[in-house]
């Protein structure tokens, strides 16, 4: 088990990362709190040490993504999430970049993680494959397809690379 100091440091270090993953999967703040608690409790209780900072970060990403998926899959949620909520724009979305964020969030769920991890966290397709336990080729395909979808959505707004 990790010390309270280590836990505090991890919360400070990875809060933004976990928050962003929550944002791309979940629609409300209460669910994010649940995910934060789940992820950091798992972190604190994990007994094996991490090989490196990178290992630790990748672990946090995988646990967060899985926690979000579990939450969305849960019976209670599947019965109580309203249609309105599903099409609702996340309330905490920043105004300045709302168009691009909106575009990313409107992507089907399987694209969102790879877009975030690739474009924001800078992971390569094989790295994303390792983190999300997906075939690198699948990641390449997902990325290409996501890029395509975003381009269509934001036509005229984005200068493609």
- d(CA 10, CA 5) in angstroms, rounded, equals 9
Would you give the binding string for other proteins spanning residues 38-77, x where CB under 8 A is met?
--xx--xx--------------------------------
Q: Supply the minimum distance, in Å, between the C-beta of residue 110 and other proteins.
A: 17
* Candidate ranges 25-33, 58-66, 123-131, 135-143; the one touching other proteins (CB under 8 A): 25-33
Alpha helices (runs of H) in the chain, residue ranges in sequence order: 4-25, 29-45, 53-73, 75-80, 83-87, 98-106, 109-115, 125-132, 136-153
Give the residue from 152, 135, 142, 130 showing the smallest Cα distance to 55.
Answer: 130
The count of residues in the chain is 161
Give the residue from 86, 80, 99 showing the smallest Cα distance to 156.
Answer: 99
Give the residue from 24, 15, 22 showing the smallest Cα distance to 57.
Answer: 15
Segment 88 to 147, residues that bind other proteins, using CB under 8 A:
92-94, 96-97, 100-101, 104, 115-116, 119-120, 147
Q: Supply the minimum distance, in Å, between the C-beta of residue 73 and other proteins.
A: 22
Which residue, 40 or 59, has its beta carbon nearer to other proteins? Answer: 40
| Interacting residues with other proteins (CB under 8 A) | 1, 4, 7-8, 11-12, 15-16, 18-20, 23, 29, 32-33, 36-37, 40-41, 44-45, 92-94, 96-97, 100-101, 104, 115-116, 119-120, 147, 150-151, 154, 158-161
């Amino acid at each position: 088990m990790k010390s309270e100091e280590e836990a505090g440091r991890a919360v400070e270090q990875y809060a933004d990362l976990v928050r962003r993953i929550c944002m791309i999967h979940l629609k409300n703040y209460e669910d994010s709190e649940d995910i934060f608690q789940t992820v950091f409790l798992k972190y604190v209780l994990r007994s094996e040490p991490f090989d490196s900072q990178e290992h630790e970060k990748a672990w946090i990403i995988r646990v967060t993504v899985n926690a979000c998926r579990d939450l969305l899959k849960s019976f209670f949620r599947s019965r109580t999430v309203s249609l309105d909520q599903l099409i609702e724009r996340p309330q905490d979305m920043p105004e300045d970049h709302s168009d691009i964020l909106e575009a990313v969030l409107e992507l089907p769920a399987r694209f969102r993680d790879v877009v975030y991890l690739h474009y924001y966290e800078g992971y390569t397709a094989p790295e994303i494959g390792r983190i999300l336990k997906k075939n690198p080729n699948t990641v390449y395909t997902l990325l290409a397809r996501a890029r395509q979808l975003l381009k269509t959505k934001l036509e005229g707004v984005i200068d493609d690379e």
